[in-house]
Structure 1
Amino acid sequence: MIYDEFKYLEKFIQYCLDTHFDGQSGSGAPQLPPMEEWSVHVPDILWEADLTKDEKTLLLLALCPHVYGNLLDSVIQGKLDSTGDFPQLGGVRGKNFRGFLPTGETVLFLLGGTELEHRKKVYRYFSADHFFAENYILWLEEAPEGEPMTSGKLVLSQDYVDLFLQGKVSKPRFSLKFPAERITTEMEWDDLVLNPETQDQIRELRTWLAHGDTLMYDWGMSKKLKPGYRALFHGPPGTGKTLTASLLGKYTGKEVYKIDLSMVVSKFIGETEKNLANLLARTEKTDSILFFDEADALFGKRTSVRDAHDKYANQEVSYLLQRIENYSGLVILASNLKSNIDDAFVRRFQAIINFPLPKASERLLIWQKAFPKKVRLHTDVDLPGISQKYELSGAEIMNVVQFACLRALQVGKETIHGPDILKGVKREFQKGGRIMR
């Protein structure tokens, strides 16, 4: 069964072909069903946009290959079998999808006809300031250099394909086109041990996530403030930067994506900007939190210009600065050293949050929270003494706890002994090139 809106599209294409080849269509132009009668789910943004008939038809044309792969072929090929080749219709074949894929030329033929003024109107549907482009709904794929723009393939955003067909956007999957991994945690805020000053600053981030829209739109600050919020987490490894980002997402209902910088940064000129732009465009629509770990690789200090490569590298950093500054959600950059981040970025952070190594009292709290409830500590375990003597990060303490628990399981016991903890501490010191005293 073909949905009514696509029956309309089929009849409309047939009407356009008949009119062109025969000089008459045999009947009047078909009537487009109102959107409330469409069988696909219509996203809210399209209800509110007051689209024209041509714009709605354009949406159906872009969506059709995702719903009825052979519909366009059947109606077009039936006519071309009797009339021969017709390049004005445009259209291409995909690499895997062998059906008819509409191009800008297809849109021009169907909606613009041969009248120049009508065709100029259709061109505007693909301009950068049109509703479709501003909201990343549909566009024309970039044409080969020197060829008309309209030879590019008509592309409907995968997010809007999902919205039309499922009523919700599918979560992005890690890939070369989306080099970001969704991070989650089963831990709670009570499991995170930070010093009071750091905790206060994290509460500010939670406040912005909860009330940022109220500040920007209800209170009218969108005219005075740039969109989004940018925070720098700096401090030694294992001090809670990634866990904090995960918890911020967990308690605000937002997805947190950790960016794989090795896949974003490219040695080829222009590719880094393209990779980052694609990633930001995808996550911005889902109001996700972006977490750049080891951000020095992407947002490091600009160098003095000695050659063309240095000049380009500095231009790349400037582009990244501009693009991140216009991101409407929360962006977190994490670095081991604040001094590694370019000063131009630092000036634009709303929050710069230090994650220092925990003090003895904080280490004791981490030790006490770290062990599973099923085990007991032997009387030879002196957690206050261990906390006081050995400077370890939270992640290092968890490594020691894991080691000691595995030692207990190895001998079939549920008791943790002091020597096993100390051996685990020694291993952590050796990994870091430190001497245990």
Structure 2
Amino acid sequence: MTEVTEFKYLKELIQYRLDTYFKTNNGTIAPELPHFKEWGLSVPEIFKNANLIDLEKITLLLALCPHVHSNLLDNIIQNKLSSTGDFPQLGGIRGKNFRGFLPTGETALFLLAGDDLEKRKEVQEFFNPDHFFAKHRILWLEEPPEGEPKMSGKIVFSQEYVELLVLGKASKPAFSMKFPAEIIETEMDWDDLVLTNETHKQIQELQTWITHGNTLLHDWGMYKKLKPGYRALFHGPPGTGKTLTASLLGKYTGKDVYKIDLSMVVSKFIGETEKNLANLLAKAEKTENILFFDEADALFGKRTNVRDAHDKYANQEVSYLLQRIESYKGLVILASNFKSNIDDAFVRRFQSIIHFPLPKMSERLIIWKKAFPSTIRFHSDVDLTQIAQRYELSGAEIMNIVQYACLCSLSVNKKTIYQQDIVTGIQREFQKGGRVMR
């Protein structure tokens, strides 16, 4: 691999530090760190706008080096230390699969501070939870074995930022135990979604925030007065368009919508739910995409009276979730069948609470008319107005019935929809919900 400017500098800096330590530099001066604009990497705007000092930039290069030049650190160290043997001041470990040199906090201390106590304190600050690196989950120290110094932990560089620096863009996180969420998409358009005027108006407010939220916070200076991100509660019966609305918001604002698998987030083990949610949010907030918690009662339900230690930890868990969701910089949507199931502490912090009621007769008629394919024809006995008036159904139920009626026609090689097939489909939906058809 051709050595780019910034890694050529890192190589020279390590050589200079080793030569200085072993008093073999013969008056060589320290190399000069190139400006971001001279780097061969694709430096993200977040780094350019952060006013990083040189020591922080070097820490970035050190942490990134194994991901880009896997043998650079090994080659320098082996050449310089072949006659001195072990050199614990340099730190570093070997990975499980990657057998090259992986820098630790001690490596950063040696390279950036040497024996200068004040500088060593400054470098240690780079790995504290309130530093820019930790706040944005860019890099951090892996927890060392119990009883060993904190700075002996391996420097971990976020894979998302590795990709941003090397490729210029980050790949979408894959569904896994560490990221229990998957992207939901739709081929439908806003015109296909039938909502009440009030609900539709509130959804447009959400779309406006996604489009102009950063302008409001930063260009208009409201970041001092408003919390980052936006939190919305969608509540209403199943099948009334909550998930579809979330998908359409993403489609028309260029954001990915991640539907959270709550079964993989909520854990029966104390502390695990918080850890799972923290991992998920850390990955998601790199791009401030939309998070959609369906059936959110399981995670954000009402706190209970404390009867035992389990109740105490469950309540602490809800409090943590509240704090973590509030700090997310993108849009978080919680969906529930009943608003009353959500803890009051969450409800108070929603910027929008949007009701998705069952469609009225006029709305059901529009859904019925839009639902059938344009290539079919209706038998003369089909009366959609009478059907819409007589049967209270959600949009999702109507779509199930339309699918059933269309399959009945296809099974006999016809393109005609019959009233009886529609009525039979309605009967099936009523039976699923335990309702009596009249």
Shared fold per TM-score greater than 0.5? yes
Change in 2 beyond 3 A, CA 1:217/1:50? closer
Q: 5 Å matches for 1:20-419?
A: 20-24=21-25, 27-419=28-420
Q: CA deviation at 1:50?
A: 3.4
Change in 2 beyond 3 A, CA 1:224/1:10? closer
User: 1:52-86 CA distances to partner (integer Å, 9 max, x unpaired)?
Assistant: 33222211111111111111112212333322112
| One-letter code aligned to 1:408 | S
Q: CA deviation at 1:113?
A: 0.9
Aligned counterparts of 1:393 and 1:49: Cα–Cα separation in 2: 49
Q: CA deviation at 1:23?
A: 4.7
Change in 2 beyond 3 A, CA 1:403/1:307? same
SS in 2 for 1:83: coil
Change in 2 beyond 3 A, CA 1:120/1:239? same
User: 1:314-337 CA distances to partner (integer Å, 9 max, x unpaired)?
Assistant: 011111111112222221110011
TM-score, L = length of structure 1:
0.95
Q: CA deviation at 1:133?
A: 2.5
Q: CA deviation at 1:286?
A: 0.8
Change in 2 beyond 3 A, CA 1:241/1:267? same
Q: CA deviation at 1:22?
A: 4.5
Moved more, 390-399 or 85-94: 85-94
SS in 1 for 2:51: coil
Q: CA deviation at 1:265?
A: 1.1
Q: Percent of pairs identical after alignment?
A: 73
| One-letter code aligned to 1:346 | V
Partner of 1:9: 10
Partner of 2:434: 433
Change in 2 beyond 3 A, CA 1:276/1:372? same
Aligned counterparts of 1:319 and 1:196: Cα–Cα separation in 2: 36
SS in 1 for 2:83: helix
Q: CA deviation at 1:26?
A: 6.5
| One-letter code aligned to 1:186 | E
Q: CA deviation at 1:25?
A: 5.6
Change in 2 beyond 3 A, CA 1:278/1:25? farther
| One-letter code aligned to 1:183 | I
| One-letter code aligned to 1:243 | L
Q: Is the Cα–Cα contact under 8 Å of residues 91 and 105 in structure 1 kept in the other structure?
A: yes
SS in 2 for 1:230: strand
| One-letter code aligned to 2:433 | G
Change in 2 beyond 3 A, CA 1:403/1:126? same
| One-letter code aligned to 2:3 | I
SS in 1 for 2:253: coil
SS in 2 for 1:361: helix
Structure 2 unaligned runs (5+)? Answer: none
Count of matched residue positions in the alignment of Structure 1 and Structure 2 = 437
Aligned counterparts of 1:44 and 1:81: Cα–Cα separation in 2: 41
User: 1:177-199 CA distances to partner (integer Å, 9 max, x unpaired)?
Assistant: 11111111111111001122212
Q: CA deviation at 1:397?
A: 0.8
User: 1:164-186 CA distances to partner (integer Å, 9 max, x unpaired)?
Assistant: 11112222221111111111111
| One-letter code aligned to 1:67 | V
Change in 2 beyond 3 A, CA 1:393/1:25? farther
Structure 1 unaligned runs (5+)? Answer: none
Q: Is the Cα–Cα contact under 8 Å of residues 401 and 421 in structure 1 kept in the other structure?
A: yes
Aligned counterparts of 1:10 and 1:67: Cα–Cα separation in 2: 13
Change in 2 beyond 3 A, CA 1:25/1:376? farther
Q: Is the Cα–Cα contact under 8 Å of residues 233 and 354 in structure 1 kept in the other structure?
A: yes
Aligned counterparts of 2:50 and 2:315: Cα–Cα separation in 1: 40
Q: Is the Cα–Cα contact under 8 Å of residues 16 and 25 in structure 1 kept in the other structure?
A: no
TM-score, L = length of structure 2:
0.95
Moved more, 49-58 or 170-179: 49-58
User: 1:174-227 CA distances to partner (integer Å, 9 max, x unpaired)?
Assistant: 111111111111111110011222122222222322333333334433333322
SS in 1 for 2:82: helix
